[in-house]
Amino acid sequence: MGHTKAAVLVVVLAVAVLGLATDGQAQLQNGYYTGKCRGNDVEAVVRGIVKARFSQDSAIVAHLLRLLFHECAVNGCDGGLLIDGPGTEKTASPNLSVKGYDLITTIKTELEKRCPGVVSCSDIEILATRDAVNASTGQGYAVRTGRRDRRRSIASDVKLPGPDFTVPQAAAFFRTLGLSSDDMVVLLGAHTVGVAHCSMIKKSRLYNYGGKAGATDPSMDPELASTYKTYVCPNTASSDNNIVFLDDRSSASKLDNSFYKMLQRRRGALMVDQNLYGDGSTRWMVDRLANTDHFLWLFPQALAKLGEVNVLTGTQGEVRRVCTKFN
């Protein structure tokens, strides 16, 4: 009898451990909302709203990609970034310039009319980003749904990679999300539609490289550095909020591989981006993405993977009625 009890206990423990390891991702599924929204096709509703917004404002692609990364990289894809109020994730310094919240609210409002309390805010973020990428590139990709929203949103939880991270620092951060250094190189390709402000490069790259007054980062193409210093980011406080495109300006609204071609030419604006080409462990991947069309199918795969980081499913968390506040 003792042996039997012991054997049962071992099996129960094994199942419990397995459940912990796979619980969230295992319960996500393709077409989770089919038949759950009073005859409405949830994904079609999201797609229609996103495409309408994209036709008026193509920058929504960049906004949603950034929102998704800032969401999923802090406690997982759980809707925590959407919560309003003092001391929430939204109020943390890296999130003050995040945009796209209004589109999530528009989608949620429409879905609440059709089937109240059914579609989570975290799933809306995932679907909307997918549809924006699709609108930009013509490349559709499947995402699994069934996430629930976490009842937590705390500014001090927000720890994101800095613009001057080395490759080892950035790779260590992505590993905490269960993502590889290859995933990292592909996901940073979102900067192909990204912008930054002069304040993010003036000190570290243009005027005080390595802590030396007047020094410019030697890894930056001298012609680009001269353009920045003369026209875009002169060394005065008034230029701090000027916009720096993270890709070639002619391609700045397109999700394509030209970002990687810029890195090959030492024309990456952010140090964390240019470091991808300066570090031997990631340079080959930059070359691969710059010299082939692989980015177009690797990027959606990496986004889908990012979207499954530390999710809540089943009876965990809640499905918010309003994305900006807990039920």
* Same domain membership, residue 63 and residue 173: no
- Asked whether residue 183 is marked as a ligand-binding residue, the answer is no
**Please, which residues have CB within 8 angstroms of residue 16's CB and are 6 or more apart in sequence?**
none
Q: pTM of the predicted model, to two decimals?
A: 0.91
* DSSP code per residue over 222-251: HHHHHHIIIIIS-SSGGGTT-EEESS-GGG
Domain count, the chain: 2
Question: Is 161 labelled a binding residue?
Answer: yes
78 marked among binding-site residues: yes
Tokens encoding 82: 């959407």
Tens-binned pLDDT, residue by residue, of the chain (327 aa):
555 444 444 444 444 444 444 457 779 999 999 999 999 999 999 999 999 999 999 999 999 999 999 999 999 999 999 999 999 999 999 999 999 999 999 999 999 999 999 999 999 999 999 999 999 988 889 999 999 999 999 999 999 999 999 999 999 999 999 999 999 999 999 999 999 999 999 999 999 999 999 999 999 999 999 999 999 999 999 999 999 999 998 888 899 999 999 999 999 999 999 999 999 999 999 999 999 999 999 999 999 999 999 999 999 999 999 999 999
The domain boundary residue, chosen from 133, 157, 181: 157
Instruction: Check whether residue 263 and residue 147 sit in a common domain.
Output: no
- Closest by Cα among 69, 68, 102, 58 to 84: 102
Of 3, 70, 197, 294, which is the active-site residue?
A: 70
Q: Do 152 and 171 share a domain, yes or no?
A: no
Q: Are 146 and 173 part of one and the same domain?
A: no
User: Annotated binding residue at 247?
Assistant: yes
Residue 33 maps to a domain: no
Q: Are residues 266 and 150 in the same domain?
A: no
Would the annotation count 74 as a binding residue? yes
Can you give the pLDDT at residue 3?
53
> Would residue 4 count as lying in a domain?
no
Do residue 90 and residue 71 come from a single domain?
yes
Question: In which domain, by residue range, is 290 found?
Answer: 167-306
Residue 6 included in any domain: no
Kindly report the CATH number assigned to the domain that includes residue 73: 1.10.520.10
Does residue 59 sit in the same domain as residue 98?
A: yes
Whether residue 143 is found in the same domain as residue 221: no
Whether 3 sits among the annotated catalytic residues: the reply is no
- DSSP H helices in the chain: 2-27, 42-56, 60-72, 101-114, 121-137, 167-176, 181-187, 222-227, 258-264, 271-278, 280-291, 295-306
**Spatial contact of 319 and 119, defined as CB atoms under 8 Å apart:** yes
pLDDT at 145: 98
In a domain, 315, yes or no: no
173 and 244 assigned to the same domain? yes
**Would 293 be classed as within a structural domain?**
yes
List beta partners, residue 148: 312
Listed in sequence order, the residues at least 6 apart from 187 whose beta carbon sits closer than 8 Å to its beta carbon are: 69, 174, 179, 299, 302, 303, 306
Residue 301 maps to which CATH number?
A: 1.10.420.10
Q: Is residue 29 part of a domain?
A: no
Mark whether 216 and 301 lie in a shared domain: yes
Is 14 part of a structural domain of the chain?
Answer: no
Residues 175, 268, single domain; the answer is yes
pLDDT on residue 194: 92
- Domain boundary among the residues 136, 157, 178 is at 157
Q: Are residues 173 and 294 in the same domain?
A: yes
Q: In this structure, is residue 105 part of a structural domain?
A: yes
